């Protein structure tokens, strides 16, 4: 394999990884990151992910709606754990 082929494969791999993530994957990654290390700052990041989801003008799929439900359930659980009962009720 010559050097140009190697560069081509690296470029292809990087572009697939960067552009290959859809809205559903982004939501699940945000939830996974939050659940691994829940904190007030991580909760703000979760809220930002939810806001990005609703601001995106693309039509939503059923899988994306399910992902946002999972996000909201996790967000509400931890809001309740952090003593933010009213926010938790709103999230549910």
- pLDDT, tens digit, for every residue of 35-54? 999 998 999 999 999 999 99
- The answer for residues whose C-beta is within 8 angstroms of residue 79's C-beta and 6 or more apart is 43, 85, 87, 88, 91
Q: Is the pLDDT of residue 27 over 70?
A: yes
Domain boundaries, the chain: 22-91
> Taking the CB of residue 84, how many other CB atoms lie within 10 A of it?
17
**pLDDT confidence band for 4 (50 / 70 / 90):** low
Q: Is the pLDDT of residue 6 over 70?
A: no
**If you average pLDDT over residues 14-29, what whole number do you get?**
76
Question: Do 50 and 82 touch, CB atoms closer than 8 A?
Answer: no
Q: Is the pLDDT of residue 10 over 80?
A: no
- What's the confidence (pLDDT) of residue 21? 77
DSSP-derived 3-state class of residue 27: helix
């Amino acid at each position: 394999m010559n050097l140009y082929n190697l560069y081509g494969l690296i470029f292809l791999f990087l572009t697939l990884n960067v552009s290959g993530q859809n809205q559903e994957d982004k939501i699940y990654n945000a939830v996974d990151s939050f659940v691994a290390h829940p904190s007030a700052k991580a909760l703000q990041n979760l809220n930002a992910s939810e806001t990005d989801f609703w601001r995106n003008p693309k039509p939503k799929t059923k899988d994306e709606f399910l992902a946002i439900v999972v996000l909201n359930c996790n967000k509400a659980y931890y809001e309740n754990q952090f003593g933010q009962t009213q926010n938790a009720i709103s999230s549910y």
